[in-house]
Amino acid sequence: MKAILALEDGTTFEGSSIGAVGTVTGEMCCDTSVMGYQEILSDPACCGRVIAMTYPLIGNYGVCAEDDESATAGATGLVVTELARLHCNWRAQEPMEPWLERRGIVGIAGIDTRKIATLQRKSGALRCCISTELTAEEAVAAAKAAPGMEGAYLVSNVSTTAPYHWEGESRAWKLPNKTQGDLGTYSELPPVSYKVVVYDLGVRYSTLRSLRQVGCDVTVVPATTTAEEALALRPDAVVISDGPGDPAMLTDIAAEVTQLTGKLPVAGIGLGCQVIATGLGATTRKLRVGHQGCNQPVKCCSTGKVEITTQNTLFAIDTDSLPEGLCADAVNLNDDTIASLTHAKLPVFGVQYLPAAPAGADDCANFFNRLVQTIMAAKAGQYNA
């Protein structure tokens, strides 16, 4: 079946339909990752986005249910140069296309995705439309009419509606033992030592798994949870998850998060970091081209050390808007935007990258160890709010 990809600037491409059929619109985001397509497409932070994978062959290692980052939320559409019809991986459970169909992801193959990346580098972010039923002219009109990410309140589309205790699989895979012919083993989990509440703005399963792997008992709560309700759970720390949409629209959530700062450790990831910053008085702005991929270099301001991170964000925190006490301790080397924040006096910090991205670099997986260290320091009275 043929499909049309149209950009709001009038550019159109014709290709082959993959995944679900129909018509979808969203902001085009080019991801430079070589692997991790399943995690990217099932990431709730990709709600409202169409993902164009710049690597030319996608789906070559199939999909595995354990690698989903959410049950239903994720990207709206997918654009690839070629979708692998055959896959090979010891963990694979099925090819990619049935998985796309089940999740309702409308896709198109046979597209020069690197041309799309080049177009966006010149013109900035573009809205787009993928359709198996519209003409090229109708698809361009749909792309132009699609809502942009600025002013978008999408957290309500992906957040849990009721609190729940994380009971999912949390052990990390080890390589298979070829001599014994098994299919792989898990590493053991540490005992539970801390209680953490996670505000679900679009949380990834890998974030919850990583928290459990450092000894945290994890309770996930809706994004609309008040500070009073969160404190009633008597947590040792609160984590504000990543998610989709414009952080400037989340003033209600930011107000509740701000009430938690100074009472216990608070840490944010991606959108969660931006919510913490805006709640304390900073402002954010839309990036001309978002940070999406697993090869984003980040430099620590104090040590000069460079780490390779996975990022998935369309907004940045304005450096000049940081209030007193909130400091940028790492920057993105591609554009000098803030990559992480730390409060000088309070147990508050956040990162703009994904510290638990299984398919990306693990240079910054120490986020979770840092959270534990901050909890221990707070218990020892090292912070004076």
pLDDT score of 350: 96
Strands 2-7 and 216-222: unpaired
Summarize pLDDT for 264-292 with one digit per residue, the tens: 999 999 999 999 999 999 999 999 999 99
Tell me what the mean pLDDT of segment 188-192 comes to: 89
DSSP string covering 306-363: EEEEEEEEEEEE-GGGPPTTEEEEEEETTT--EEEEEESSSSEEEESB-TT-TTS--T
Residues 225 and 293 in one domain: yes
Within 8 A by CB and 6+ apart from 137, the residues are: none
Q: Report residue 275: phi and psi, to 5°.
A: -65, -45
Q: Report residue 380: phi and psi, to 5°.
A: -85, 0
Nearest-CA neighbor of 194 among 384, 381, 374? 374
> Within the chain, where are the H helices?
37-41, 96-102, 113-123, 136-145, 155-158, 205-213, 227-232, 251-260, 271-279, 367-379
Average model confidence (pLDDT) across the chain: 93
Assigned domain for 170 exists? yes
Summarize pLDDT for 73-118 with one digit per residue, the tens: 999 999 999 999 899 998 899 999 999 999 999 999 999 999 999 9
How would residue 385 be classed by pLDDT, with cut points 50, 70 and 90? Answer: very low
User: Could you say which of 145, 177, 207 is where a domain stops?
Assistant: 145
Query: How far, in Å, CA of 128 to CA of 146, rounded?
Result: 8
Residues 185 and 280 in one domain: yes
Tell me what the mean pLDDT of segment 257-263 comes to: 95
Tell me the pTM.
0.94
Which has the higher per-residue pLDDT, 56 or 173?
56
Query: How far, in Å, CA of 225 to CA of 239, rounded?
Result: 13
As for how many domains the chain has, the answer is: 2
Residues 268 and 223 in one domain: yes
How would residue 169 be classed by pLDDT, with cut points 50, 70 and 90? Answer: confident
| Domain CATH code at residue 16 | 3.50.30.20
> 360 pLDDT exceeds 70?
no
Q: 3-class DSSP state for residue 279?
A: helix
pLDDT score of 364: 60
Residues 177 and 265 in one domain: yes
